[in-house]
Homo-oligomer: A and B are copies of this chain.
Amino acid sequence: MTRQQLVDQIKQKKSFLCVGLDPDIDKIPEFLKQYPDPIFEFNKRIIDATKDLCVAYKPNSAFYEAYGVKGLQSLIATGKYIPKDCLSIIDAKRGDIGNTSDKYACAFFDESTSGMNFDAITVTPYMGNDSVTPYLKYDGKWVIILALTSSIGSKDFQYLPTEDGHLYETVIKKANTWAGADRLMYVVGATKSTEFTEIRKYAPDNFLLVPGVGAQGGSLQDVCQYGITKDCGLLVNSSRGIIYAGSGEDFADAARAEALKLQKEMQVELEKSGII
């Protein structure tokens, strides 16, 4: 999916919502366990209930890898089921040397070898350029680099002072020399909305993938005030807040209601900024 197609989707759906598909077999509704692949069945119903309200889906690989071969089969089936008009992001946070990153790129982008063909992958920056550039060999695919995360541990290294401000700012400044805003996005935790101003200095045009709105304490209004651009430039993710909104047979309706609430708030922000 190109940048223009993503922007068009945002305008059309009046939404910049990304739904995180992080299913846990102990948390999904009991009745789904009668199906041969309960995890996929769960995701399928979430996707059916939310696909007109969001522009991206983001399965986190860990939640599938935990279940071995069965989990990988659920992930592959989920990837194939994500509608083509939504950006499919594999949240894998990989990062390795060049020849190894080539293999990870096969794993997530080359359907002929792995069965998977996501549009974008999250990558951790610690190992530098050769942990990012191999993914860019695939035309039209995106790399989403961790910059500032919403985790407790983000304080340990991401805020270390550097000549650019902090480590996360140096990461963005450096990574922007590897590719443009049509191929690179950054993960920026929404619990630190005032820092969006600083981040926009280094990444004025890049899309930012923002976790942590809602349950984790970030405010959508703050994120938009400091982070929105003329092309929107934001994908705001919600995982648990949507997928576990309900726990009964009507869990997909409950998920839709939560997604709709966020979409409505997003519509207000898009209108306020003159994007729609």
Contacts and interface: CB of A to CB of B under 8 A. Distances in A.
Contacts of A116: 68
A60 B96 contact: yes
A174 interface: yes
Interface size on A, as a range, is: 35 or more
Interface of A: 22, 24, 60, 62-63, 65-69, 71-73, 76, 93-98, 100-101, 103-104, 106-107, 110, 113-116, 124-132, 146, 149-158, 160, 162, 167, 170-171, 174
Contacts of A107: 62, 65-66, 68, 71
- Quickly give the copy total for this chain: 2
Contacts of A71: 107, 114
Nearest to A97: B151
A65 B160 contact: no
A97 B67 CA distance: 19
Nearest to A105: B66
A151 B171 contact: no
A42 to B, nearest CB: 15
A94 B62 contact: yes
A59 B270 CA distance: 47
